[in-house]
Structure 1
Amino acid sequence: MFRHQKELQFEVKVERPDPMLAKRVQEVLGGQFGEMTVMMQYLFQGFNCRGNEKYKDMLMDIGTEEIGHVEMLCALISQLLDGAAPEDQAEAAKDPQLAAIMGGVDPQHLLVSGLGGMPTNSNGVPWSGAYIVSSGNLLADMRSNLHAETQGRLQVARLYHMTTDEGVRATFRKMLARDRYHQYQWMAAVAELEEQNGVVVPASFPPEAEMEAQEHGLEFWNLSDGQESSEGLWATGSAPDGTGDFKYLENPEPLGNIPRPEIPATQVHHDLDRDYVNKK
């Protein structure tokens, strides 16, 4: 069960309204890598975790914390929108400088949410459940979590430099610190799972099960102009799981056939080259 506590995890108190910033903050609330995404991602991974209570408990801990982060951002957006009433916009329009500032208000903050946060990104696109990853494979999911926290912290850091409001920055610093810890956490989980099961997902399908395709699992195919890619460990090193050494193919040749699909029935109404059809 979940239980709401009235106090926020960290204090949210802005120095002055800033509707334009409120619109930008929507990205780290309801964007692809926003707090709504990591909240739902960790919770669904936790709900669906089977057989290892340690990982399930961790996922539920962090997923629940992210619910609190969503609430913090909603509080932040609301404070940034204070004073952004429609009549204030009309008054501000009389002054070109003020009009430029108030013109940055997201209309939906006035029309839809009544000066509050919304489950949308900074362009007003609704949050989507398609953003979350919950595969049931712990290593795959933990790597996805690390990616999500990496992108999310990057966006908060960019927002940090878009304002001089010390109150807003104080909130962002708390979020940056937590996102830094969460990256540490997912790194630790990934390292532990890799040590247990190997570095390739899924571990239940080992390289030897690939049969005649095994050699291709170690090849780097040079398929763009230049050969700078040959200088990386991905082309000259060894596989992390010890299955062999990488091989750089400077001029790889195709190993497959030329596809020759059957001509469909005329009722499908393809625009076909009749000469080609007759040759077939």
Structure 2
Amino acid sequence: MFYHNKKLQYFKPPEKPDAVYAMKIQELIGGTFGEMTVMMQYLFQGWNCRGPAKYRDLLLDTGTEEIGHIEMLATTIAHLLDKAPLRLQEEGARDAVVGAVMGGSKPGDVINDVIAAAMNPQHAIVSGLGATPSDSVGYPWNGRFIVSSGNLLADFRSNLHAESQGRLQAVRLYEMTNDRGVKDTLSFMIARDTMHQNQWLAAIEDLESSGLETTPVPSSFPLDLEKREFAYQFWNHSEGTESAEGRWAKGPSMDGKGEFEYVAQPQPLGPEPEPPQTPIQLHGTPKTQQQQKTQGNGSSAPPLVESVTVKNPEV
């Protein structure tokens, strides 16, 4: 079961409202690499974990922490939307500002209305100046963003990727504001992303050293069933040979089970494709007129799918 502590993990309120920046913060909640994604990813990986208890506990600890991160961001958005200007001007932004100056009005009031036009309208219409489970352009969070495969090494690598992208986005948002309160809150979350990147690297090392799972994933698949002569070849598929200078082009493979080989001019190993002709009932375009004549009239051919009548069992 889950319990909720009413105190936030960490929080410094924004210095002033900023409805447009609130829309940007939404990316850290409901974006592809937002907190909703890592929260659900870690929790489902933990719930589905059949491995040692320490890995299950690691996943559930971190997934539960991410719930608190969403609450922090939602609270930040509520403050950023506080007293947000909701009046929209009929004039365009440029004309409205110029008109205010020429007419003796305060340009700042008009500029606030222009800013309101740029805010996420759902923050006013749908959530009543609150956060939503969506990204910065209003796309709803999607469960397809998460990875939970049942293979811990594959999952831990996905977690490292998610934390790397998440920290990158948080840092970019940090650079997009001068609000000291927002920066302070983000600096805490960026630090936690640093820890999470390191913990998934440590978990990968721990898991591989245990021998339960190693590279290549899945390590349970017999290597003699793959075509080993191609397993460590780097194929140069674009102009230039600069890729030959990399670690991946020569020397022992990272899994220690082969030697990298650089193939400068890879050649096709299969024939030119010759797709089979479609059944006449599908009325596809054949390769030649002769085939078209041979096919004849598809409507007179037997149906592709036989109808099946299901009868209710007698009582």
Shorter-chain TM-score: what band? over 0.9
CA distance 1:97–1:263, shift in 2 (3 Å): same
Partner of 1:203: 219
1:279: Cα distance to partner?
11
Partner of 2:80: 80
Could you say what secondary structure the match of 2:262 adopts?
Answer: strand
Contact 2:85 2:113 in 1 (8 A): no
Partner of 1:17: 17
Could you say what secondary structure the match of 2:215 adopts?
Answer: coil
1:143 aligned to which of 144, 147, 157 = 157
Give the counterpart letter for 1:30 in structure 2.
G
Give the counterpart letter for 1:216 in structure 2.
F
Partner of 1:271: 285
* RMSD, aligned CA: 2.0
- Asked if 1:60 corresponds to 2:60, the answer is yes
1:84: Cα distance to partner?
1.8
1:102 aligned to which of 94, 111, 116 = 116
CA distance in 2, matches of 1:243, 1:278: 53
Deviation readout 1:71-114 (Å, 9 max, x if unpaired): 11110111100112534x56997744323322221000011111
Partner of 1:120: 134
Deviation readout 1:9-60 (Å, 9 max, x if unpaired): 0023110000010000000100000000000000000111113100001111
Count matched residues: 277
Partner of 1:186: 200
Consecutive unaligned residues of structure 1, counting only runs of 5 or more, are none
CA distance in 2, matches of 1:241, 1:270: 48
CA distance 1:16–1:252, shift in 2 (3 Å): same
Sequence identity percentage:
53
Could you say what secondary structure the match of 2:209 adopts?
Answer: helix
Partner of 1:3: 3
Give the counterpart letter for 2:146 in structure 1.
I
CA distance 1:50–1:189, shift in 2 (3 Å): same
1:4: Cα distance to partner?
0.8
CA distance in 2, matches of 1:279, 1:188: 66
Partner of 1:219: 233
Could you say what secondary structure the match of 2:234 adopts?
Answer: strand
Deviation readout 1:135-174 (Å, 9 max, x if unpaired): 0101000000000000000000000011000000000000
Partner of 1:158: 172
Contact 1:30 1:37 in 2 (8 A): yes
Contact 1:16 1:80 in 2 (8 A): yes
Could you say what secondary structure the match of 2:252 adopts?
Answer: coil
CA distance in 2, matches of 1:70, 1:109: 16
Deviation readout 1:214-240 (Å, 9 max, x if unpaired): 010011111111111111111112112
Give the counterpart letter for 1:149 in structure 2.
E
- Asked if 1:236 corresponds to 2:274, the answer is no
CA distance 1:76–1:108, shift in 2 (3 Å): same
TM-score, structure 2 normalization: 0.83
CA distance in 2, matches of 1:276, 1:82: 74
Deviation readout 1:201-260 (Å, 9 max, x if unpaired): 1110142332xx101001111111111111111111211222221111111111112221
Could you say what secondary structure the match of 1:86 adopts?
Answer: coil
CA distance 1:221–1:67, shift in 2 (3 Å): same
Could you say what secondary structure the match of 2:118 adopts?
Answer: coil
More helix, by proportion: 1
Greater Cα shift, 3-12 or 128-137:
3-12
Contact 1:12 1:72 in 2 (8 A): no
CA distance in 2, matches of 1:216, 1:276: 41
Q: Which has the larger radius of gyration?
A: 2
Contact 1:238 1:244 in 2 (8 A): yes
1:268: Cα distance to partner?
1.1
- Asked if 1:173 corresponds to 2:187, the answer is yes
Greater Cα shift, 177-186 or 244-253:
244-253
